[in-house]
Amino acid sequence: MLRQSLILIAACASIVLAQQPAPPAPPGKAATTSATKASSTRSATASNTGSATSTRTGSSTSGAPSATGSSAFSEVPDVVLHVPELSVGRIELNVDNLQADINLHANVASLVSINAGVALSIKEVNLTIADVDAELDLVVRLGHLVDIVNRVFESLDLNPLLLDTIGNVTDLLKPVIGAVDGLLGSITQGGTTLNFLVDNLGNIIQEVGDVTSVVGNYKTNMTQIGGETSLANGLIQKTFEYTPLNQIVEMLFNTAGQVVQAVVKKTGGGGSSTTATSQPTTTAVAKRKI
């Protein structure tokens, strides 16, 4: 009985203690904790906001100039022709004596056959366009041309000897631009005269009247005699012998191996010579009347 009474008293004491309020915390400690939480909250908010703003600003600033510069450089043409307005007041088309003849023939008896023909004739056509009004905007940008001229002047400043070289080449080409073919000789067979010439590529041309044909070239039909002579501007002079006509030919070659000049030296009594000169890019064969 005593034991049960003690248990009942302990249970009542526990209920009473549970219903009493908890003692208040010290004022200093509570203020410190609240301030610490507020401070950490503000710090986190400021850090997040600053990071987001910096990222967006940097991205927009770095991307814009690059795209704008490349598109502006590639899309702007050197020459622009703009026609904002174009009007034509009158267009007249006059056709005089228009005649059309149509012929049709049909045959049904054996496997249908149809023949049709049209003949159309016009004597005179007159087209008149009047009162044309147009507004044109022409824009020419000379930036690239100025760059080219500037580069030429810079090259001449760095290499002033180019001016002398260009002058020498011009003086050299003036005397050699003339007839295309050099006459190697002529042979008469049965009342027909055969002329043999050397052209600007070193080909041997046979000419009979107005008919010409290639019968050989200096590489296979001529024999080089003597050595080579180096001239100014990279030109090389070689001497060849054409045995069938007993002729000596002096040829001038450029750096690309093209024949620039051919001089046929006569070996028989007259002592005269025929000069064949041409530009390196010329391939046409000129006719020589004898």
pLDDT (tens digit per residue) in 14-35: 665 555 555 555 544 444 444 4
1: pLDDT strictly greater than 60: no
Q: For residue 47, is pLDDT > 50? A: no
User: What is the pLDDT confidence band of residue 7, given thresholds at 50, 70 and 90?
Assistant: low
Tell me, what's the pLDDT at 230? 87
The pLDDT tens digits of the residues spanning 121-143 come to: 887 888 888 888 888 888 887 77
Going by DSSP bridges, is the β-strand pair 192-198/203-208 parallel, antiparallel, or unpaired?
A: antiparallel
pTM comes to 0.31
> Residue with structure tokens 């007259």?
270
Strands 182-189 and 113-140: unpaired
Question: In terms of pLDDT, which residue wins out, 243 or 67?
Answer: 243
**Burial zone of 260 (CB within 10 Å; 0-12 exposed, 13-18 middle, 19+ buried):** buried
**Across residues 90-111, what is the average pLDDT?**
78
Phi, psi (5° rounding) for residue 47? -65, -45
Query: For the residues 220-224, what does the mean pLDDT come to?
Result: 87
pLDDT in tens, 142-198: 777 788 888 888 887 787 777 666 665 555 444 443 334 467 777 777 778 888 887
Tokens of 201: 């590529």
Instruction: Output the average pLDDT for the chain.
Output: 67
